[in-house]
């Protein structure tokens, strides 16, 4: 890639990062998970008293353990997970609370998904949780741990500036690959790809969920004639192009902003026409991990020349 497009992923991994950015992302991500915990679906699942749990998908967890988990442990995992995630956001006992929050989240949503086979976004967050488990540097700023350390007069941990960079870049890699493979999945196999590019799938979603769409209730009618196929073909093709363009964010940085804006607009368009808002929140989280570290104002000055190339 031309140098004016900015450093690629490999170069960025070796550049200094922002401790403030990593801390803000920890808080932002934990806040999203707390929001997920507020979903009534989780509490509804706890109230279901099925005589026998039968998962709809394959799982690594042995059936006997999963049965025990479903019948006895889920309510406790909910409250422990909620408390641990709140502690993670506050930066209190951050390493322990992050690991606890990760385990509770994965176990709960494994059961929820296997019980309902609902297309939810939770698997995407498991990897981000894992990276935060491996990143003690996330608690160096904006945390109760850091505050208590200063009150005790203990020295701050001595870390290389790169320790604040690699977690953000690796999570950015995960996000870019997730979008890229989502684009690939829309066009393969080819028969399904033709259906998608012709707008059939988006047309079906929008017409079957029209009464859930905010734009319908705002206007009192659909914004255009939904029997037309070309608007859906245009939006479907644009979605694939945008998702495939996400891969280029690993190779440069200069064009990231328009790609991120395009992805946000795509998810917002789905919300307006179909009422599906979850992926708008997801896109906001994803874009937050792709913000250049120097925006946060605490990257060592030595990073400036490399970042600006």
Weakest mean pLDDT among 4-13, 47-56, 138-147: 47-56
List, in order, residues 6 or more apart from 241 with CB less than 8 Å away.
183
pLDDT of 23-72, one tens digit each? 999 999 999 999 988 877 666 666 665 444 555 566 677 777 777 777 77
Mean pLDDT for the stretch of residues 254-280: 90
Asked if pLDDT for residue 131 goes beyond 90, the answer is yes
Mean pLDDT for the stretch of residues 76-87: 93
Query: Closest Cα to residue 161, out of 12, 9, 8?
Result: 12
Weakest mean pLDDT among 35-44, 54-63, 80-89, 179-188: 54-63
Bigger pLDDT: 74 vs 143? 143
Task: Give the DSSP H or E segment for 276.
Answer: none
To which residue do tokens 């946000």 refer?
Answer: 264
For 93, left (φ over 0), alpha (ψ -120 to 50), or beta?
A: left
Weakest mean pLDDT among 106-120, 156-170, 250-264, 281-295: 106-120
Asked if pLDDT for residue 1 goes beyond 90, the answer is no
pLDDT of 215-264, one tens digit each? 898 888 888 898 899 999 999 999 999 999 999 999 999 899 999 999 99
Q: Is the pTM of this model over 0.75?
A: yes
Mean pLDDT for the stretch of residues 156-173: 93
Q: Give me the pLDDT at residue 306, please.
A: 46
Cα pseudo-dihedral 21, 285, 110, 80, rounded to 10: 50
The CA-based diameter of the chain, rounded to the nearest angstrom, is 69
């Amino acid at each position: 890639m031309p140098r004016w497009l900015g450093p690629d992923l490999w170069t960025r991994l070796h550049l200094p990062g922002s401790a403030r950015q990593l801390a803000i992302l920890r808080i932002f991500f934990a806040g999203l998970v707390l929001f997920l915990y507020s979903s009534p679906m989780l509490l509804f699942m706890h109230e279901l008293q099925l005589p026998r749990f039968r998962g709809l998908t394959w799982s690594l967890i042995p059936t006997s353990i999963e049965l025990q988990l479903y019948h006895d442990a889920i309510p406790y995992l909910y409250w422990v997970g909620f408390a641990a995630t709140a502690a993670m956001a506050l930066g209190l006992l951050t390493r322990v609370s992050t690991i606890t929050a990760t385990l509770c989240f994965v176990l709960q949503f494994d059961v929820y998904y296997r019980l309902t086979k609902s297309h939810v976004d939770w698997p995407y967050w498991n990897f981000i949780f894992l990276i935060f488990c491996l990143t003690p540097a996330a608690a160096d700023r904006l945390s109760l741990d850091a505050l208590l350390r200063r009150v005790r007069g203990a020295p701050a941990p001595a870390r290389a500036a790169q320790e604040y960079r690699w977690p953000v870049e690796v999570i950015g890699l995960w996000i870019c690959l997730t979008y890229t493979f989502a684009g690939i999945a829309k066009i393969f196999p080819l028969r399904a790809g033709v259906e998608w590019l012709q707008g059939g799938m988006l047309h079906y979603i929008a017409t079957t969920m029209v009464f859930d769409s905010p734009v319908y209730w705002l206007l009192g009618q659909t914004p255009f004639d939904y029997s037309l196929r070309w608007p859906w073909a245009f939006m479907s093709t644009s979605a694939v192009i945008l998702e495939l363009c996400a891969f280029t964010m690993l190779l440069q940085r200069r064009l990231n902003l328009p790609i991120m804006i395009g992805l946000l607009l795509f998810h917002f368009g789905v919300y307006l026409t179909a009422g599906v808002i979850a992926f708008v929140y997801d896109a906001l989280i994803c874009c937050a991990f792709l913000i250049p570290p120097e925006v946060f104002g605490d990257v060592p000055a030595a990073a400036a020349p490399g970042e600006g190339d």
